[in-house]
Amino acid sequence: MNSMYTRIFLPLVLLCLACAPLRAEEEVVPADEILLKNGSRILGTVVEARDGSVTVDTDFAGTLAISMDQVVSMQTSQPVVMQMADETVLEEQPMVIADSQLQVTDSTGATQALALDQLLVVNPEAWELGQGYAWSGLANMALTIEKGNSDTEELDYKLESVWRSDDDRYTIKLDGEIDEANEVKNTDNWTVQGKYDYFFDGPTYWGVMAYAEADEFADLDLRYYIGPYIGREFLTDPIFTLSAEVGGSYVNEDFITAPDQEYPGANWALHMTSNYLGGDSRLYFDQLGIWNLDETSDIIVNTTLGLAFPLLWGFEAAAEILWEYDSGAVQGIEKMDETYGFRVGYTW
């Protein structure tokens, strides 16, 4: 019996041992290779390229971002997806750069040399190819309770959600604060904003926005406005992004004690970010303004300046300064309100 088992299983064991090195060799994926102008040779895996830089995962230095204008040659071991500036999409071919020019193979099998600025994105996301929406956002809530000589309760909440496709974008923002001291409320305000943007060819877009806010201790029962605008993404490089919008709107203001009013308004928005500080941190500046076209001395400007930095598992911390200016504030209310805050929330 033992002899029979030996004759059956021994050849199988030897076959498995002989094939194991072959399987191990088959699983080894050759590294992508990049040669830089300073002579450096980098081996790793090209993850993506966009905004003039290529991202590479390496074993020796983690993830590197390399400026494309420093690349002399590059060869990926596997096919990639390349989206060109003229919206052409090239698939099923590796990325090859020789003498600082992109080498591509056309439908006839011929090789063409293209300038690197013709390459828009390598391995674009599905939404960039017109397939569905990318969903991003953040949510945070902070509750502070102090008991003792002074009883205070503070509740801050914030929600932002953006759905972006190749052609359009939906945005929802909600922000609010409720504070009490010794069981007496001293802060109660909120804002909510909804936007829709449609992109033309390039960075220019048009949209429509609906905005509402209330602030009990600024005598504001409800302010809302709605109207169209036109916007443009002037800069998109992560080192510095800049977008701006300008439009017109119908504004309605209901006050608790002061007379209500409505008027045509001109509104604008500015949004800037920068990753200049590194470490996946993000400096940001947001400004939203409304100008009363009936009473031109009446202007409202809300400005936010902040620094956000990642924590673990998608959580983010941020320090913010908020300036709220209303030149037409009712009597007894300061025209400028300044708030310093620190928040922790989840991003996706």
Q: What's phi and psi for 78, nearest 5 deg?
A: -120, 155
pLDDT at 157: 93
pLDDT at 26: 47
pLDDT at 342: 87
pTM of the full predicted structure?
0.79
Cα end-to-end distance, the chain, whole Å: 63
Q: How far apart are CA 301 and CA 329, in angstroms?
A: 12
DSSP label of 218: G
pLDDT at 297: 93
pLDDT at 306: 96
* Residue 300: count of CB within 10 angstroms of its CB: 22
pLDDT at 143: 75
Domains of the chain (ranges, CATH numbers): 32-124 (no CATH), 134-347 (2.40.160.40)
pLDDT at 23: 45
* Distance set, CA 37 to CA 255, 272, 278 (Å): 65, 32, 24
pLDDT at 207: 97
Q: Would you state the structure tokens that stand for residue 6, as one six-digit string? A: 């030996």
The series of mean pLDDT values per 10 residues for the chain, 348 residues long, is 52 54 54 93 92 89 88 93 89 91 86 89 90 94 73 90 95 94 90 97 93 95 97 91 98 95 97 91 96 95 96 92 92 88 90
Q: Would you state the structure tokens that stand for residue 194, as one six-digit string? A: 């909804």
What pairing do the DSSP bridges indicate for beta strands 315-326 and 299-310?
A: antiparallel
pLDDT at 21: 53
Q: How far apart are CA 161 and CA 171, in angstroms?
A: 6
Q: Would you state the structure tokens that stand for residue 149, as one six-digit string? A: 């000589």
Cβ distance 348 to 137 under 8 Å? yes
Sorted by sequence, the CB contacts under 8 Å of residue 241 that are 6+ apart come out as: 233, 235, 271, 272, 273, 274
Q: Would you state the structure tokens that stand for residue 292, as one six-digit string? A: 């009363």
Q: Would you state the structure tokens that stand for residue 50, as one six-digit string? A: 């966009």
